Amino acid sequence: MPWRVSSSMSERLAFIQACLDRQVSIQEICAQFGISEKTGHKVLSRFRTEGMAGLAERSHARHAQAHRMSADVAAAIIALRKKYRAYGPVKLRDWLVQHEPERAWPAASSIGTLLQRAGLVRSRRRHPSGVRMLTGRTAATAPNHVWTADFKGEFRLTRGPYCYPLTVLDLHSHYLLDCTAQATTAVAPTRVAFARLFRMYGLPDVLRTDNGVPFAQPNALGRLGALAFWWVRLGIRPEHTTPATPAENGAHERFHKTLKAATTQPAAPSLAAQQRRFDHFQREYNTERPHASLPDHRPPGHTYAPSPRAYPARLPALEYPATADVRRVAAAGAIKWRNHLVFLSTNLAGEYVALLETDRDRVTIAYAALALGDLDLHTHRFTPGVRWIGAATP
């Protein structure tokens, strides 16, 4: 129970005087001063053993901290933070525990306090509470089930040209498969980059991208461009996020913030120099940097394994059921059906599509394992409806 508000020292002196004069019991004196009997006896005991010094205000802090951080532990944490400036307290602790598990490391909150005292904490804006990065797309249940790809926003190098970083991640393990400093977002160099990745890691089941070039073509059938149809031919299902909804590729968008902070501030003078930065970051990200969403916060390299689906030396032949009617897509992007032209996509020019019977009134037009839409047999009207139907069986 606290002393009444006034001068604490004067209240204690008055209390001692009342006790020494003792006109009434100590219980009544304590009640008069608004304190508990236990507090009264404690103050009286201190006065008798220490005199006036015993009435002074005392600190309530511990005389010694139970888990005080040693100088060598603090030095190790600060050295690691200076090496990995983008790591926060949690990630620093994860790294230390993984690399020196036999040593007792302080809690992340204590590491945060240390960094604050050392002036190594940058203030940053936080997202409003309750805001989450959601996705309504295919869930990644294993490595190589879903890859995500994107071009990080272009930026100018210090000596003039622009850099367009192509980034590809395995969604399940968060493994950074590629980070290439490209001079353009054109289809041809992007296809070369993906062919290199497919040779190194095999083929994914799904490849998720946004609706920008070269991954999508806004006015084309299913927004599918030449690159996407190449993936379909390889047995990879293209998956686009909803336009203007970057949260559907939230993990990838968040990764770009990490990449930008680590490699582009400031930018390098040339594409070759910027690529060296990306390569160094990729090694560190995959093998050193702890990841909070993975088991034991291990780096992605501990979880990822290449795909068992090897990249073929040649494009696999298109196989359709024997009952299918196969048509070649003309240069203008159309097929001919019963003397009627059915326009599909110029991105399919030279390829073969199949007309698969579904009922008496319509057929489904498919390219490999991808249904493109349905053709009404009476009106000859084609209704786009791109959907994955799986491998066609002869």
| Sequence letter at residue 170 | D
**pLDDT digit string, tens, across residues 355-380:** 998 877 899 999 999 999 999 988 99
Dig out the tokens for 193 from the structure.
């980059």
CA distance 331 to 352: 12
CA distance 176 to 193: 14
Contacts of 335 by beta carbon, 8 Å cutoff, 6+ apart: 327, 328, 329, 341, 342, 344, 353, 365
Task: Note down the domain range covering 292.
Answer: 146-302
Mark whether 232 and 375 lie in a shared domain: no
Give the bridge partners for 382, in sequence order: 375
In the block, which residue shows the tokens 């070759």? 272
Residue 129: pLDDT band (50, 70, 90) is very low
Indicate if the pLDDT at residue 299 is higher than 90: yes
pTM summary value: 0.70
Ranking 57-61, 68-72, 119-123 by mean pLDDT, the lowest is 57-61
Q: What is the CA radius of gyration of the chain?
A: 34
Structural domain includes residue 276: yes
Residue 338, Ramachandran bin (φ over 0: left; ψ between -120 and 50: alpha; else beta): left
CA distance 350 to 347: 9
Mark whether 179 and 292 lie in a shared domain: yes
pLDDT of residue 27: 86
The predicted model gives 235-244 an average pLDDT of 90
What are the phi and psi torsion angles at 147 (to 5°)?
Answer: -105, 145
Average pLDDT of the chain, as a whole number = 86
| Sequence letter at residue 192 | V
Mark whether 150 and 297 lie in a shared domain: yes
Residue environment code for 106-128, b if the CB has 16+ CB neighbours within 10 A, otherwise e: beeebbbebbeeeeeeeeeeeee
Structural domain includes residue 137: no
Ranking 143-157, 175-189, 240-254, 270-284 by mean pLDDT, the lowest is 240-254
| Sequence letter at residue 317 | A
Mark whether 195 and 263 lie in a shared domain: yes
CA distance 329 to 343: 9
Mark whether 108 and 244 lie in a shared domain: no
**In 17-85, beta strands by DSSP E:** none
Structural domain includes residue 48: yes
Q: If we measure between CA atoms, which residue out of 251, 229, 235, 167 comes closest to residue 202?
A: 235
Mark whether 280 and 331 lie in a shared domain: no
Structural domain includes residue 3: no
Structural domain includes residue 260: yes
Dig out the tokens for 262 from the structure.
């680590």
Q: What is the CATH number of the domain that holds 152?
A: 3.30.420.10
Beta strands 352-359 and 325-328 are antiparallel
Query: What is the CB neighbour count within 10 angstroms for residue 214?
Result: 20
Query: What is the CB neighbour count within 10 angstroms for residue 216?
Result: 20
Q: How many CA atoms lie within 13 A of 115 on its CB side?
A: 26
Mark whether 158 and 292 lie in a shared domain: yes
Structural domain includes residue 220: yes
pLDDT of residue 19: 83
The predicted model gives 197-213 an average pLDDT of 95
Mark whether 294 and 334 lie in a shared domain: no
Mark whether 378 and 338 lie in a shared domain: yes
pLDDT of residue 2: 55
Q: How far is CA 140 from CA 135, 144, 215, 237, 348, in A?
A: 11, 8, 20, 13, 29
Structural domain includes residue 307: no
Dig out the tokens for 125 from the structure.
């804006």
Mark whether 281 and 372 lie in a shared domain: no
Structural domain includes residue 336: yes
Mark whether 49 and 76 lie in a shared domain: no
Dig out the tokens for 332 from the structure.
């203008």
Mark whether 167 and 279 lie in a shared domain: yes
**pLDDT digit string, tens, across residues 62-93:** 555 555 788 888 888 888 888 887 788 888 88
Q: How many CA atoms lie within 13 A of 243 on its CB side?
A: 8
Q: What angle do CA 16, 20, 23 make, to 5 degrees?
A: 110
What are the phi and psi torsion angles at 387 (to 5°)?
Answer: -160, 150
Q: How many structural domains does the chain have? A: 4
